[in-house]
Amino acid sequence: MTAGQQDRSIGSKVGRGALWSLLNNVVLRLGVLVSGIVLARLLSPSDYGVFAVALVAMTLLQAFNELGVSLALVRWERDVREFAPTAMTIAVTTSTALYAVVWFAAPAFCDAMGSPSAVGVLRVLCFAVVLDGIAVVPATILNREFMQARRFFTDFSSFAVSTSITITLAVGGWGAMSFAIGQIAGNVVSVTVYLILCPVRVRPGWDPTIAKDLVRFGLPLAASSLLVLSVTNLDKIAIGALTDEVTLGLYLMAFNQSSLPLQVFSEAARRVSLAGFSRLRDDSAQLEQSLARGVGLLMAATIPVCALLACYAQPALSFVYGEKWVPAAQALQILAVLGLVRVVLFIGYDLLVALDGNRVLLGLQALWLATMLPALLIATKLDGIRGASLALLGVAALVVLPAFIVVLERRGVRLWSTFLACRRPLLGGALVVASAFVVRSFVDGSFAQLAVGGLVAVAVYLPVVSPMRSLLPGRSPVAVAA
């Protein structure tokens, strides 16, 4: 196979993988949205606050539970069958040890978070870390081989089980525990299906040389991931420690809504972006072109959603989730903009991983954490969840994003074509925001504002971004700078 044929083959795989991944995320996130509406009407902000405490612990553990071997699996060009057994042994052993620590540390952690009633929920939910240790290798192999159709089936099966059990328990009055039990049930399903559908029959094994190489490569990435998730969870830790369960629950609702664009669009792209960037890193022109295409399309899909969330936060929460969630709007208006910044930063993270920028990533995440901590503590004290949201947005947009741009430019990645690919979505987003001011000035009622605002947003946004159809997979790339 010639170099050109190989590039086209990789591009074809990435394109198909991205489309399946996008379908996966859109379908599942729509399901999550519907189930979330049902659960928000069944449960209270206090229940969400208790669940948030357990979720923070689980998320931080999953950043480090497999010592970064999943990223090593994606990056290494050797036969995956050589190192998958050792990778699974590392992941399962580390995950089990961490869960044992969490079991005993749960009371102290929940007391520090101001939610001693969350101990039981935390112990149940964090068992997902052990299940993740079993699933991470087969799941990563599917990503490595761009087998997103199999991931779609796995994720859909897990979602169906998790959601049905969670809603059933919530109706039965189980409160926050309904989330934890439903999550574990879904994880059991996903682990089982991953092991069945993985093209490589993965079983635990051990090779000391491979283990040393895996840990040497993966540990800095795991540390970086831990810093990333510390950054994205420090807000919940601060709010939980400085306020109460109800306030934390309101903030979690706002944060979850603002994360929808990241979960639907960015996660779909990230499932193939790291593997795609890694295979194109030796061809700078192709890499820059692919980056411009990907970020441009990502912004075209993400910007209108973030703009609508920010402009219609209050009527959306009132109509969809109920009046008890309206106080979360003060945070959602700001966090929706942060969601857009996070989409860009996570793509930059994957690009630096592909360029062997592991140590640089550690520095960037440390910078993010160091600047966020004092800003978050002061802002939360002064203005509650609105102040916390402003602090998060300010640090991400004014400190971290410029730092990522400088680092990428110094590594030889020219970003001008990427900036050009984003100008139409940015213009369209500005028109959506302007139209929202007009709609909310002349239209009363939550449902009417949402209905009219949505139609007007489509009318002003689509004509601006429609020429970007040329960036879709299989089209000519010349329109990136058009």
State pLDDT tens for residues 126-142: 998 899 888 888 887 77
Q: Are residues 227 and 267 in the same domain?
A: no
For residues 202 and 345, membership in a common domain is answered with no
* 417: number of Cβ within 10 Å: 17
Q: Does residue 62 share a domain with residue 188?
A: yes
Examine residue 454 and state whether it is found in any structural domain, yes or no.
yes
51, part of any domain: yes
Q: What is the pLDDT of residue 3?
A: 47
Residue 247 lies in a domain: no
Indicate the residue among 212, 242, 272 that finishes a domain. 242
Whether 229 and 263 share a structural domain: no
- Listed residue (252, 239, 428) closest to 332, CA to CA: 252
Question: For residue 55, which of 243, 322, 235, 316 has the smallest C-alpha distance?
Answer: 235
- Does residue 474 lie within any of the structural domains? yes
Same domain for 337 and 191: no
Please answer whether residues 65 and 91 qualify as being in contact, where contact means their C-beta atoms are separated by less than 8 angstroms: yes
Please tell me the distance from the alpha carbon of residue 321 to that of residue 38, in angstroms, as a whole number: 8
Residue 8 scores a pLDDT above 50: no
5 occurs within a structural domain? no
Q: Measured between alpha carbons, how far is 470 from 482 in angstroms, rounded to an integer?
A: 10
Q: Are residues 228 and 374 in the same domain?
A: no
Query: Nearest-5° angle of CA 431, CA 23, CA 33?
Result: 70
Residues 263 and 237 in one domain: no
* Same domain assignment for residues 235 and 283: no
- Look at residue 27 in the predicted model and tell me its pLDDT: 58
Q: Name the residue with tokens 């969870």.
A: 233
Q: Which domain holds residue 227?
A: 11-242
Model pLDDT for residues 215-247, shown as the tens digit of each residue: 777 777 677 667 777 777 889 989 988 988 899
Regarding whether 176 and 84 lie in a shared domain, the answer is yes
The domain boundary, picked from 195, 217, 242, lies at 242
- Phi first, then psi, for residue 446 (nearest 5°) are -60, -50
pLDDT tens, position by position, 61-77: 776 666 666 666 666 66
pLDDT at 147: 63
Tally of domains in the chain: 2
Residue 252 lies in a domain: no
Biggest CA pair distance of the chain = 69
Over range 460-480, report the average pLDDT: 71
The residue among 317, 302, 314, 311 whose CA lies nearest residue 439 is 311
Rounded to whole angstroms, the Cα distance separating 296 from 284 reads: 18
- On average, the pLDDT of the chain sits at 82
Rounded CA gap, 312 and 332, in Å?
Answer: 9
Residue 19 pLDDT level (bands cut at 50, 70, 90):
low
Angle, nearest 10°, between helix axes 446-465 and 284-311? 160
Alpha carbon distances (Å) from 258 to 261, 307, 334, 431: 7, 10, 9, 20
Question: Does residue 439 form part of some domain?
Answer: yes
Amino acid at 312: Y
Residue 411: predicted pLDDT: 82
Query: Over 70: is that where the pLDDT of 358 sits?
Result: no
Res 188 pLDDT > 60: yes
pLDDT of residue 24: 52
Asked whether residue 236 falls in the same domain as residue 276, the answer is no
Question: What totals of helices (H) and strands (E) does the chain contain, helices first?
Answer: 20, 0
Residue 482 has pLDDT above 60, yes or no: no
- Structure confidence at residue 480 as a pLDDT band (50, 70, 90): very low
Could you tell me if 270 and 228 lie in one domain?
A: no
**1 located within any domain:** no
Are 206 and 263 in the same domain? no
